[in-house]
Chains A and B, each alone.
Chain A
Amino acid sequence: MKGSLIIVGFFIAGIIVGVSHWLPETSGLSNISYITLCALMFFVGISVGHNTTVLKSIRKLDPRYMLLPLMTITGTLAGCAVAALALPHRSLTDCLAVGSGFGYYSLSSIFITQYRGPELGTVALLANILREIITLLGAPLLVKYFGRLAPISVGGATTMDTTLPIITQCSGNNFIIVSIFHGFIVDFSVPFLVTFFCSL
Chain B
Amino acid sequence: MLKIVAIMFCGIAVGYLLRNYLLRFVPKAITVLIWLLLFFLGIEAGANPRVIGGLKELGLEAVWLSLMGVAGSVLLAWALWRYIQARKGGKS
Contacts and interface: CB of A to CB of B under 8 A. Distances in A.
Contacts of A93: none
A1 interface: no
Nearest to A196: B1
Interface residues of B, number: 72
Interface of A: 3, 6-8, 10-21, 23, 26, 29-30, 32-33, 36-52, 62, 64-65, 67-68, 71-72, 74-80, 82-83, 86-87, 90, 95, 98-99, 106-107, 109-110, 113, 115, 117-119, 121-128, 130-131, 134, 142, 146-150, 152-154, 156, 174, 191-192, 195, 198-199
A contact face: mostly helix, strand, loop, or mixed: helix
- For the complex of A and B, the 7 pairs showing the least CB-CB separation, nearest first, are A14-B42, A45-B11, A18-B46, A79-B72, A49-B15, A147-B81, A153-B77
A75 B81 CA distance: 14
Chain B CB count within 10 A is highest, among A42, A80, A99, for A42
A44 B11 contact: yes
A51 B72 CA distance: 30
A106 B37 contact: yes
A75 B67 CA distance: 12
B41 A109 contact: yes
B83 to A, nearest CB: 8
A46 B58 contact: no
A109 B30 CA distance: 15
22 contacts: A14-B38, A14-B41, A14-B43, A14-B46, A18-B44, A23-B47, A26-B47, A45-B13, A49-B17, A74-B76, A75-B77, A78-B76, A118-B51, A119-B54, A121-B45, A123-B58, A127-B63, A131-B70, A146-B77, A149-B81, A153-B77, A174-B92
B35 to A, nearest CB: 5
Interface in B54-90: 54-55, 58-59, 61-66, 68-85, 87
Nearest to B12: A49
Given A40-B33, A45-B7, A80-B65, A146 B44 contact: no
